[in-house]
Amino acid sequence: MSSFKIVFFDLENWQLDYLKGKVLNQDAHYFTTSVMDTDLNGISDADIISTFIYSKVTKEVLDKFPNLKMVATMSTGFDHIDIAECKRRGIAVCNVPAYGDNTVAEHAFGLLLNLSKKIYKAYDRTVRGQFNYDGLLGFDIKGKTLGVIGTGRIGCYSMKIANGFGMNVIAYDAFPRESLQAEYNFKYVSLDDLFAQSDIITIHVPLLKETIHLINDDAVSKMKKGVIILNTARGPVIETNALVKGLQSGKIGGAGLDVLEDETAIKDEWSLLHEITTLPSEQLKVMVENEALMKMENVLVTPHLAFYTREAITRILDTNLKNIFDLVENRGLENQVNK
């Protein structure tokens, strides 16, 4: 069997070691850098490249790999790859469709527990030697109504956890699957009813044109006073301005956010400083609102890492390897997204 030239980008060192032990008998190359930040000398004849979301696989990047047969992305989303151009060139694009249903749901509950028992605030105080209860009164999760928006893989796992906590669970989905109700012990309701009845709302829908700003002023106005909102899906599902206003007025009691609208602007804030005068005012507004959110006492923000556990990443690496070896061993490409 002739060996394939496989080039892995965007790896962390432990991931690199893990892969090295598994990719045998192939001409494999490993980089911690993205495809744009790597010197391609000696690897541009690759048959397969493996990337994460940091590598933008554009037409220009594809031009640099004339022998390419596959782009294997270590993510579910593939909007960083020009899949139509890949298809035109006969290059298969494969993704990792599922890897962290429990991982992301666990994070949502991590945010909820932190908010309900004010753990982060209590921790911050105890490390400074303050042992008192002032301002630390929490609330029980048991008996509260959880409204789950999106009853897909992560939404369902969240319901499983919620049942364990003794919560009452209701849910909304644009494409409800009635049989899930018995399996996960919940009731489908309309979106308005979910807003009206939920003590805690957790969001698990994809970012689509239909879900952009699903939580806006109108939605907030229909919610219970003091509602807690959790977002581990995608930032733009919540209109940041509506969230900030809701929190400031006390209508929203707290928020746990693993994702923010325009979150890449936060990551790159130093480079953005150089172009600040050219940014659209809408983007600047969201950036200022994000800063305000992160400073609020009843808001907990994490840097889009709900998926980031050793187990989930190992599942990603294993599926990525399966995708690669499906090609190497000439099997059907189960996870091809540009057929």
SS3 94: strand
Q: Does 208 bind ligand NAD (CB under 6 A)?
A: yes
Tell me: does residue 312 bind ligand NAD (CB under 6 A): no
234 catalytic, yes or no? yes
Q: In terms of Cα–Cα distance, which of 28, 37, 27, 32 is closest to 13?
A: 32
- From the list 239, 261, 263, 289, the catalytic residue is 263
Q: Return the SS3 of 283.
A: helix
Which residue's CB is nearer to ligand NAD, number 180 or number 327? 180
Helices 101-116 and 153-164: crossing angle in degrees, nearest 10, is 50
Residue among 285, 301, 149, 302 nearest 211 (CA):
149
Catalytic residue, candidates 107, 234, 239, 261: 234
- Please indicate whether residue 213 is annotated as part of the active site: no
Structure tokens at 241: 């301005």
Interface with ligand NAD by CB under 6 A: which range of 35-43, 205-213, 274-282, 328-336? Answer: 205-213
Among 306, 316, 327, 337, binds ligand NAD (CB under 6 A): 306
Q: Which residues, numbered 115-174, are part of the site for ligand NAD (CB under 6 A)?
A: 150-155, 173-174
Query: Which residues does 176 contact at the CB level (< 8 Å), separation at least 6?
Result: 151, 188
Known active-site residue 88? no
Are the C-beta atoms of residues 326 and 332 closer than 8 Å to each other?
yes
Restricting to residues 226-245, name those near ligand NAD by CB under 6 A.
Answer: 232-234
Residue nearest to ligand NAD (CB): 152
Question: In whole angstroms, what is the distance from residue 288 CA to residue 158 CA?
Answer: 31
Region for 185 from its dihedrals, namely left if φ exceeds 0, alpha if ψ lies in -120 to 50, beta otherwise: left
Nearer to ligand NAD (CB atom), residue 62 or residue 323: 323
Of 39, 134, 210, 275, the one binding ligand NAD (CB under 6 A) is 210
Residues in contact with ligand NAD by CB under 6 A are: 100, 104, 150-155, 173-175, 204-208, 210-211, 232-234, 258-259, 304, 306-307
* Catalytically active residues, by annotation: 234, 263, 304
